[in-house]
Structure 1
């Protein structure tokens, strides 16, 4: 673990402490680590997509929109290799929220997420991509095969 010191004016330090309390952090170090991770992830998101990722795609749509639910489901089936799971929630008599967990090559995941968000009738679409690092892994027993594990990129 490396340590470093930063200086903040009193107003900024007070605002930061209020943010820490509102978000439930136990100390400044935990909050700073999360802010640094978020900044690194945002910087990576500006780069050309590469490698693998896991993503959470969330969007709201009106289920009365002509054949929209069927189009969204068909797209997910057509990309079953990227779609890990989906959660469907009824918000009111007309609107639904779907949250779809995706995993795969970053460029394909991003393209698929953008295609779902762009469907006519989808509103409030947002995707959160998390870069993954591949790690070769040995077989777990004599009958298994070597395989790849993916972990969040540092």
Structure 2
């Protein structure tokens, strides 16, 4: 563990104390660590063509299901990006509006493009993509019990600390 000192003006220190109280932090060190982690995650999710970045996350959006062919367009986008879409939950908010949350994983460029395609569709009112950067490791091991165990190769997505 490394220690360092940070000086804050009185107003900023008071705002930081309020933030800590709102989020339930018991000490400043953990609050500062979380803020640093959050900023580093955002930096890791910035597009970099030289190094592919992978992430997991959720895309949440609200739309009016009466909008002409919107459900079909959104479903087509999900099918066209089946490599990115892991699961989806659909909630009826009222007689007109629905909320969908889509769990996504994959190349950050591709996930962001998919999210923009969905949220920019006419009839989608609100949309937000939340991503967490991950390391992708291709693993090969057996699943199941002998004698039915078979070698299986797949990707593990591990959050970046």
Q: Does residue 150 in structure 1 map to residue 157 in structure 2?
A: yes
- Show the counterpart of 1:64: 66
Shift of 1:65: 0.6
- Show the counterpart of 1:120: 122
Q: Which of 55, 75, 78 is equivalent to 2:77?
A: 75
- Show the counterpart of 2:146: none
- Cα distance change, pair 72–147 in 1 and its aligned pair in 2 (3 A): closer
Distance 1:45 1:87 in 2: 25
SS at match of 2:7: coil
> After the TM superposition, which residues 1-154 of structure 1 pair with which residues of structure 2 at under 5 Å, given as runs?
1-48=1-48, 50-137=52-139, 139-140=141-142, 143-145=150-152, 147-154=154-161
- Cα distance change, pair 148–75 in 1 and its aligned pair in 2 (3 A): closer
What is the root-mean-square deviation of aligned Cα atoms in Å? Answer: 2.0
Shift of 1:3: 2.3
Distance 2:9 2:109 in 1: 42
Uncovered stretches (5+) of structure 2, i.e. residues with no partner? 144-148
Distance 1:140 1:30 in 2: 39
Shift of 1:146: 5.1
Shift of 1:147: 4.2
* TM-score of the pair, normalised by structure 1: 0.87
- Cα distance change, pair 140–9 in 1 and its aligned pair in 2 (3 A): farther
Uncovered stretches (5+) of structure 1, i.e. residues with no partner? none
